[in-house]
Amino acid sequence: MYYNNEIWVASAGDKKISIVPKMANRHGLIAGATGTGKTVTLKVMAESFSDCGVPVFLADVKGDLAGMCRPGIDSADMQERIARFGLAECGFDYEAYPTCYWDIYGQNGIPLRTTISEMGPTLLARLMDLNPTQTAIMQIVFKIADDEGLLLLDIKDLRSMLQYVYENAKEYSAIYGNMAKQSIAAIVRSVVALEEAGGDQFFGEPGLNIRDWFQTGDGGKGMINILDCQSLINNPTMYSTFMLWMMSELFETLPEAGDAEKPRMVFFFDEAHLLFEDAPKALLQKIEQVVKLIRSKGVGIYFITQNPSDIPNDVLAQLGNKVQHALHAYTPAEKKKVKAAAESFRENPEFDTMEAISSLGIGEALVSFLDRDGRPSVVERAKILPPKSQMGPIDEMTRNRQIQQNNLYIKYEAVEDRDSAYELLTKRIAAEDAAEQQAKEDALQAKAEEKQRKLEEKELERQRAAAEREAERKAKKTKTAVKSVAKTATGTIGREIGNTIGSSVGGKFGKKLGGNLGAALGRGLLDTLFRF
Ligand SMILES: Nc1ncnc2c1ncn2[C@@H]1O[C@H](COP(=O)(O)OP(=O)(O)OP(=O)(O)O)[C@@H](O)[C@H]1O
Ligand SMILES: [Mg+2]
C-alpha cells in the first residue's frame, strides 16, 4: 500500500520495506517457483502505484488479476494479516481500483489493436517466425510500401502488398535487391497463418494510442490497465512480441522525463521468460536497449518469472528492485540457479541468503529495493502485504459492464477501414487489368480491321479484274460486230462498184467481172478500214 509517500510492499518484523517512487523507474524483478505468491506481490505493487497516482499496465495471464475492479473480501485470514502487519493503523481498507480491461482479441476487454506498420518488419518477422532471408524481404516490402505511399494497416494490406511485390518481383528486385519469388510466397503463407491466429482482429485501426493508458480514476488514482492474456498466452511468441511492442511503443511515444519524483507509468511483464526464449540476437539487443533507455522516459518495467536465470544477465543487471519468492534447490542445476539468485543480493549478516531462498513460505520473499541514492538495500526476509482489492477473477457480467462503461470503449470498439495498401493496390491492379484488356481489345480490333482491309482490297482487285475482263469481252464483241458489219458493208459497196464497172463492160463477162471486182474491192476496202 501507498504509505508515507512510499510503495510499501512487505514487512520484515516491524520494518516496512518500501520502494521509493523516485527509484521505481529503475525496474524490478518478481521471481519465484509456481504458487509462491508472485501474482499477489504484483497486485500489491500495482495497487500502491495506482494509489500514488501512477498508471499501471499488467498482463493478466491466468485471469486472476481481473478482480482489481472490486474491493477485497473480508475473511478471518485477512483479519489476521491486517493485524500482523499493523495495517489498520496505517489506513488499510478494502478498495476497488480504476481498471481498464484490454484484449487483443476484443473478447475480454476493449479491443487493443495496432497497425502492421506500427508493429514494424522486425517484430512482425518474429511473430511470423521468418528466417533471416525472409526477414530481409519483409523489410524491403515495408520500404516499397513507404516509397509508394501505400499504408500497411491490416492483414489485408500486408497480404496484397506481398502479392503485388510477388507479381512484380523482377522489377522490384532490380531496384531494391534480389527477392526470390519462392521466399515471398513463403512469407505469404506465414501471413495466412498469422491471420488464422487472430491477426485480422488485432491488426487494424483504430490502433492503440498508448497515451490512453495514462488515465487517472477517482481520487487521482492511476489507471490499472489489464491486458487479458488468457488466450494470448497459448501463443507464447505472439504474447511476448506484443508485450515487447507495447514496451517499445511506450519508449518511442514518451518524451524524456528527467529525474521525476515518481514514474509516469509502471509496466508489469508476467511470464517474462517468454520474451527471451529463442529470441534472435538482434531482438535481444533491442530488448536490452529499450530496458536501458526507457527509464529516462519515466517508465519502470517489472519482470515476473519463475527463476532470475530466465532473464539475460545484461537485463538482470538493470533490475534494481527485487522480490525473490521461494525457489527449489534439489538438483545440482537448481542449486546453481539458487546460488546465482542469492549472490545477486546485497548480503544480510543475519541470515544465509541461499538457504533462505529455498525455505521461504508462500507470501514470503527476499526483498531488496534501491534506496534514495539508488543503492541496493541489504536483503530482507519479509512477508508481502495482502492486497486491498479482490483476489482472483471476475464474472463475465461484471467484466462486460466494466468494459462498456469505460469511455475508451466507444473510441476503440468498432474497426475502421480506411483506404490503405489493399484498397489502393486493388484499384491499381484493376486499372492495370483494364489497360491490359483494352490493349488486347485494341490489338484484336486492329487485326480485324487489317483483315477487313485486305478482304476489301481483294474484292476490289477481283472487281477490277472482272471489269477488265468484261471490258475486254465487250471490246472483242464490238470488234466482231464491226468486223461483220464492215464485211457486209464493204461487200455491198464493192459489189455495187463492180456491178457498175461490169455493166459498162457489158455481156456475161462484164457481169462476172463486175462481181469479182466488187468482191476484191470490198476486201480491199475492209482491209483498209481495219488498218485504221
Ligand atoms: N502475500 C500473500 N499473503 C497471503 N497469501 C498469499 C500471498 N501471496 C500468495 N498467497 C497465496 O498463495 C496463492 C498463490 O499465489 P500466487 O497466485 O500469487 O502465486 P504465483 O507465484 O503467482 O503462482 P503462479 O506461478 O502459478 O502464477 C494465492 O492464491 C494465495 O492464496
Ligand atoms: Mg501468478
Pair 291, 360 in one domain:
yes
The count of other CB atoms within 10 Å of the CB of residue 254 is: 18
Q: Is 386 in the pocket of ligand 1 (CB under 6 A)?
A: yes
Q: Residue 423 falls within a domain, yes or no?
A: no
Boundary (domain end) residue, out of 155, 175, 197:
197
The backbone torsions φ and ψ at residue 3, rounded to the nearest 5 degrees and listed phi first, read -145, 130
Q: Is 502 in the pocket of ligand 1 (CB under 6 A)?
A: no
Pair 312, 368 in one domain:
yes
Cα dihedral 107, 113, 116, 121 in deg (nearest 10): -90
C-alpha of residue 278 to centroid of ligand 1, in Å: 29
What is the rounded CA–CA span in Å between residue 12 and residue 380? 7
Pair 83, 18 in one domain:
yes
Q: Residue 484 falls within a domain, yes or no?
A: yes
* 89-102 pLDDT tens trace: 999 999 999 999 99
Pocket test for ligand 1, best of 60, 81, 362 (most atoms within 8 A of CB): 362
pLDDT tens digits, the chain, 532 residues: what are they? 999 999 999 999 999 999 999 999 999 999 999 999 999 999 999 999 999 999 999 999 999 999 999 999 999 999 999 999 999 999 999 999 999 999 999 999 999 999 999 999 999 999 999 999 999 999 999 999 999 999 999 999 999 999 999 999 999 999 999 999 999 999 999 999 999 988 999 999 999 999 999 999 888 999 999 999 999 999 888 898 899 999 999 999 999 988 899 999 999 999 899 889 888 888 899 899 999 999 999 999 999 999 999 999 999 999 999 999 999 999 999 999 999 999 999 999 999 999 999 999 999 999 999 999 999 999 999 999 999 999 999 999 999 999 999 999 999 999 998 889 999 999 998 999 999 999 999 999 999 999 999 999 999 999 999 999 999 999 888 877 766 665 665 555 656 655 665 565 555 555 665 556 555 555 555 555 544 4
Query: Judging by DSSP bridges, how do beta strands 28-31 and 299-305 pair with one another?
Result: parallel
Instruction: Give pLDDT, residue 532.
Output: 40
Is residue 326 a contact partner of residue 360, using CB atoms and an 8 Å limit? yes
* Prior bond of 376 cis (ω within 30°): no
What is the rounded CA–CA span in Å between residue 59 and residue 445? 66
Run of H or E including 158: helix 155-167
What is the rounded CA–CA span in Å between residue 226 and residue 237? 19
Pair 93, 9 in one domain:
yes
Pair 332, 345 in one domain:
yes
Q: Residue 238 falls within a domain, yes or no?
A: yes
pTM of the model as a whole: 0.82
Type of residue numbered 498: G
Pair 399, 443 in one domain:
no
Q: Residue 35 falls within a domain, yes or no?
A: yes
Number of domains the chain contains: 3
- Nearest to 98, CA basis, from 8, 211, 216: 216
Pair 6, 103 in one domain:
yes
Length of the chain as a residue count: 532
Q: Residue 202 falls within a domain, yes or no?
A: no
Cβ contacts of 454 within 8 Å, gap of 6 or more: none
Counting from 1 in the atom list of ligand 1, the atom nearest the Cα of 37 is 18
Pair 263, 125 in one domain:
no
Domain interval for residue 19: 2-113+207-412
Q: Is 390 in the pocket of ligand 1 (CB under 6 A)?
A: no
Q: Is 113 in the pocket of ligand 1 (CB under 6 A)?
A: no
Pair 129, 225 in one domain:
no
Pair 285, 387 in one domain:
yes
Is residue 519 a contact partner of residue 491, using CB atoms and an 8 Å limit? yes
Q: Could you tell me the CATH number of the domain that includes residue 230?
A: 3.40.50.300
Pair 138, 280 in one domain:
no
Is residue 155 a contact partner of residue 194, using CB atoms and an 8 Å limit? yes
